[in-house]
Copies of this chain bind each other. A is one copy, B any other.
Amino acid sequence: MDYKEIARGVKADSFKTASLSCEVRDGALKAIIASLREHKEAIFLANKKDLQRAAQDSLPAPIQSRLRFDEHKLADCIKGMEDLAAMEDPLFRQLLKRQLDEGLTLVKTTCPIGVIGVIFESRPDALVQISALCIKSGNCAVLKGGSEAANTNRALFDCIFEAGVAAGLPQGFATLIEDRAGIDELLKCHESVDLIIPRGSNAFVQYIMTNSKIPVMGHADGICHVYVDKDAALDKAVPIVIDSKTQYAAACNAVETLLVHRAAADEFLPRLAQAAGTSIELRGDADTCRLISCKAANSADFETEYLDYILSIKLVDSLEQAVEHINRYGSHHTDCIVTENQQAAELFMANVDSAGVYQNCSTRFADGFRYGFGAEVGISTGKLHARGPVGLDGLVTYKYKLFGNGQIVADYASGAKEFHFKDL
């Protein structure tokens, strides 16, 4: 396969996709829903093959569970697609309409980014969600899923592709890459691919970032914090910390480090230790170790994304010190303050330099579904373009259209004409 040639074809189709009406795009989503329902047995069968191989290869239980695509996952996918189809069109939205002068009108309009390469983990539902987001936002998707889900991905893709094309999408709307080598080929297609969204390990995302000229949106690390303030309600703090750590320990939005105000530590830490029991390994700084029995944390602990049932703990003297620690060691992902003091919460939220700044709730809420976006294509810890969970909004850009009737700049430079700005 000549990937550059394929990418060029996708690029050409992306201009067609960009011009499709919302009716056609929503129609395609509905056609795909119908097709997924119709072909579900074939999809489940393909998934069975993947699950069998995963069991043979003794893959870790969380990966096997992520791999499963059953009635329940299908229903979730379909619900997400229905939500997307019902959402307002993210394209052709006028962000600005301004008269620059008589007969010279500037219009800023949303449009798709173009061709988006998404590389994702072995989770077949991700393929459906990402495809759906790209269809709704008028982008062409080049998809590479984890190889453990190869059979399921192929079955889902065939279903989506055929229904999409039959509903009027150009062939380039979705392309499936099935070999690992295809990733490196994709990274070379900077002339045709506008954006890469990699999901996966820190090392993998770093690899993508350093091996392509294509802009990358995503997150390498997810070192999230919960800070228990001196004015915290401890009956909220304990479950928030436990949920942030254990509700899904391998997620990027799970908490890795707990910061506790010294004034709250005496009472809070024993309660936390009790709630954690033996299910979470606690690693505390020297002060923490004096208050509860736990392993000693070394400085590397505060730079580590465990993705496991391990939590590092540090006492701080003030909210300012907590903020400083988070901005220094954190991943600018999601960080939470537990406090009943609104002023403290505002200070924390203003000064913590993260995509998500929370008060009194679990860091695990950082997710496109939970934000009501219908689906997410990933989470960005960068500060440009899209930040946090990336839904439809993050998949569009804009262009400036300027409509004139012969205006030239020399007339304005000479003073013969003047600009008369007026927002319309």
Identify the A interface with B (CB < 8 A). Answer: 15, 18-19, 98, 100, 104, 106, 113-114, 194-195, 215, 217, 233, 235-236, 239-240, 242-244, 247-248, 323, 327, 345, 349-351, 353-362, 364-366, 370-372, 382-385, 387-389, 397-410, 412-413, 419, 421
Say whether, besides A19-B350, A384-B384, A384-B385, A362 and B397 are in contact (CB < 8 Å).
no
* Interface contact A409-B233, CB-CB below 8 Å: no
Residues of B within 8 A of A106 (CB): 371-372
Residues of B within 8 A of A382 (CB): 215
- Number of this chain's copies in the assembly equals 2
User: Chain B CB within 10 Å — which of A235, A351, A354, A397 has the most?
Assistant: A397
User: Chain B CB within 10 Å — which of A217, A327, A362, A402 has the most?
Assistant: A402
CA gap between A387 and B106 in the complex, in Å: 14
What are some 14 contacts across the A-B interface (CB < 8 A)?
A15-B327, A18-B350, A104-B365, A114-B353, A215-B382, A244-B408, A349-B401, A356-B400, A357-B402, A360-B406, A361-B403, A387-B400, A388-B400, A389-B400
CA gap between A401 and B346 in the complex, in Å: 10
CA gap between A226 and B382 in the complex, in Å: 36
CA gap between A400 and B405 in the complex, in Å: 43
* Interface contact A399-B361, CB-CB below 8 Å: no
Interface of A is mostly: mixed
Say whether, besides A361-B402, A404-B360, A215 and B384 are in contact (CB < 8 Å).
yes
* Interface contact B387-A385, CB-CB below 8 Å: no
* Interface contact A371-B400, CB-CB below 8 Å: yes
* Interface contact B360-A409, CB-CB below 8 Å: no
* Interface contact A400-B355, CB-CB below 8 Å: yes
Residues of B within 8 A of A357 (CB): 399-402
* Interface contact B100-A372, CB-CB below 8 Å: yes
- Shortest CB-to-CB span from A31 to chain B, Å, is 24
User: Chain B CB within 10 Å — which of A18, A350, A365, A388 has the most?
Assistant: A365
* Interface contact B353-A15, CB-CB below 8 Å: yes
CA gap between A401 and B242 in the complex, in Å: 21
User: Chain B CB within 10 Å — which of A236, A351, A404 has the most?
Assistant: A404
